[in-house]
Copies of this chain bind each other. A is one copy, B any other.
Amino acid sequence: MNKDFLYNEIAGGIAGQIKNGILKAGDRLPSVRTLCQQHGISMNTAKRVFLELESQSLVDSKPQSGYFVSRLPYLKTPLPNVSRPSTVAHENEPEELISKIYANMGRDDLTLFSIGVPSGDLLPIAKLKKEIVLATRALKGGGVEYESLQGNLKLRRMIAFRSLAWGGNLQENDLITTSGGMNALAFCLMALGKPGDTVAMESPCFPGTLQLARSLGLKVLELPTHPSTGIEIDALKKVIDKINICLLVPNFNTPMGSFMPDENKKEVVALLSKHNIPLIEDDIYGDLYFGAQRPKCCKSYDTEGNILYCSSASKTIAPGYRVGWVAPGKYKEQVLKLKLVHSISSASVNQEAVANFLKTGRYENHLRQLRRTLQENYQRYVQTIAEHFPEGTKTSQPQGGVALWVEFDKRIDTAKLYEMAIKHQISIAPGRMFTLQNQFENCMRLCIGLPWSDKLAFKLKQLGTLAKMV
Q: Which residues of the partner chain B approach A338 to less than 8 Å between Cβ atoms?
A: 215
Q: Which residues of the partner chain B approach A183 to less than 8 Å between Cβ atoms?
A: 179, 342-343
Is the CB–CB distance between A347 and B347 below 8 Å?
A: yes
Known interface pairs A149-B105, A342-B186, A347-B347; A144-B117 also in contact (CB < 8 Å): no
Which chain B residue shows the least CB distance to A186? B342
Which chain B residue shows the least CB distance to A132? B136
With beta carbons under 8 angstroms apart, the residue of B128, B144, B179, B341 that contacts A142 is B128
Min CB distance, A115 to chain B, in Å? 8
- Interface: A344 (CB within 8 A): yes
Known interface pairs A319-B144, A320-B141; A349-B102 also in contact (CB < 8 Å): no
What CA separation (Å) do A128 and B135 show in the bound complex? 13
Q: Which chain A residues numbered 207 to 246 have a C-beta less than 8 Å away from chain B?
A: 208, 211-212, 215, 217
With beta carbons under 8 angstroms apart, the residue of B120, B129, B208, B314 that contacts A340 is B208
Is the CB–CB distance between B145 and A341 below 8 Å?
A: no
Supply 14 further A-B pairs (C-beta < 8 A) apart from A125-B144, A132-B143, A349-B349: A105-B149, A106-B147, A128-B144, A129-B136, A133-B133, A144-B317, A144-B318, A144-B321, A179-B347, A182-B342, A186-B341, A194-B195, A211-B340, A212-B341
Give me the interface of A with B, judged by CB distance under 8 Å. Answer: 102, 105-106, 117, 120, 123-126, 128-129, 132-133, 136-137, 140-149, 179-180, 182-183, 186, 190, 194-195, 208, 211-212, 215, 217, 314, 317-322, 337-338, 340-350
7 A-B pairs within 8 Å (CB atoms) are namely A124-B144, A128-B142, A132-B349, A133-B136, A179-B322, A179-B347, A215-B338
